[in-house]
Amino acid sequence: MEVGHESNLVYALVYGCILALGLPLNAVSLWILLRRHSLKSPSVVFMVNLALSDLLLAISLPMRVYFYATGIWPLSNEACVWTTMLFRNNIRSSSIFITFISVDRLLAVLYPLRSRHLRTASNALKAVVLAWLFVCVLNIPERLKFSAFIKSKNHSTCFEFQHNVSHNNSNPQYHKSVFTYLPSVLGLTLLAVNIVCTTLVSWTLRRHLSDLARVNNKVNVMLIFVINLMMFTICFLPLAVFLFLYGLPVSTPLECLASFNCVLDPLLYYFSLDAFWKNKEDIELAREQ
């Protein structure tokens, strides 16, 4: 069962809008983070990698838009596989980096002094390297299955793996395994971590409502967690639940929804960093004063 032409045009339009918004927003955000903020802060390390992940997603979108608009894949099968994996990498890596940001903010609010030895740039760099390695390893089984499926097709196509196998669970190219459910379990686990972080921080801020020295801007702190939960609930949760219930590759509508996170992520940079638009020299001077 193939996706109808009208549905393909809708997908092309949605991905085109995400590309038009996500590419400049994340390119500018990455430039500001690297130029105006040093990588000495764990928050900046996580946000730089989140912006990089979103840019990789945006790079994969032009060919996806072209395919859904024309119904033709002009490149090789291997290019289709790499484009698809680059796209799905963002969904997994973004959810991990967003959770890192939530945990980092949780430690900063609940344990500002005791967590200093943990909340370092070097530890943050180690965490993001492990996250990228984990995402790459997680993609290996899916990449092999997708590559085998694409090679078995008699016509030039791409991004259709999910439509064929979802209507035929006995497809010899597709067998359920622990790797089938691992992405959904990962997504649901990270969502649970974000819920716990939000609850603990909200409870702490209520207890220290008058302690302005403890948290400089409580509204911004809570907005960080609200944005994180909103992205998980809107973008990642439907995809994770679908995978958990059916154990099948994600459907195109849910992929569209998940990819919208690259448009929302720049909100995190604005609310997470003090003086986001200021030079790092100005920030250090303000701290000294």
Is pLDDT at 179 greater than 50 in this prediction?
Answer: yes
Of residues 229 and 170, the one with the higher pLDDT is 229
213 to 1, 102, 208, 217, 287: CA distances (angstroms)? 61, 21, 10, 9, 13
Of residues 95 and 163, the one with the higher pLDDT is 95
Is pLDDT at 163 greater than 70 in this prediction?
Answer: no
The mean predicted confidence, pLDDT, of the chain is 78
- For helices 178-207 and 77-110, the axis angle rounded to 10 degrees is 30
pTM of the predicted model as reported, rounded to 2 decimal places: 0.82
Average pLDDT (148-171) is 55
Is pLDDT at 132 greater than 90 in this prediction?
Answer: yes
Is pLDDT at 49 greater than 80 in this prediction?
Answer: yes
DSSP letter, residue 2: P
Of residues 6 and 280, the one with the higher pLDDT is 6
- pLDDT score of 239: 83
- pLDDT one-digit tens code per residue, 228-254: 888 888 888 888 888 777 765 555 788
CB burial of residue 161 (10 Å; 0-12, 13-18, 19+)? buried
- pLDDT score of 173: 43
Give CA–CA dist 24/261, Å, rounded: 14
Which range, 18-22, 30-34, 108-112, 278-282, is most confident?
18-22
79 to 70, 135, 136, 151, 158: CA distances (angstroms)? 17, 19, 17, 12, 9
Comparing C-alpha atoms, which of 138, 120, 103, 54 is closest to residue 228? 103
Contacts of 6 (CB under 8 A, 6+ apart): none
User: What is the token pair recorded at 71?
Assistant: 């119904």
Is pLDDT at 154 greater than 80 in this prediction?
Answer: no
Provide the b/e sequence for 93-119 (b: ≥16 CB within 10 Å).
bbbbbbbbbbbbbbbbbeeeeebeeeb
CATH 1.20.1070.10 matches 5-282 = yes
- pLDDT score of 112: 83
- Domain spans in the chain, listed from the N-terminal domain onward: 5-282
User: What is the token pair recorded at 84?
Assistant: 């698809």
- pLDDT score of 276: 47
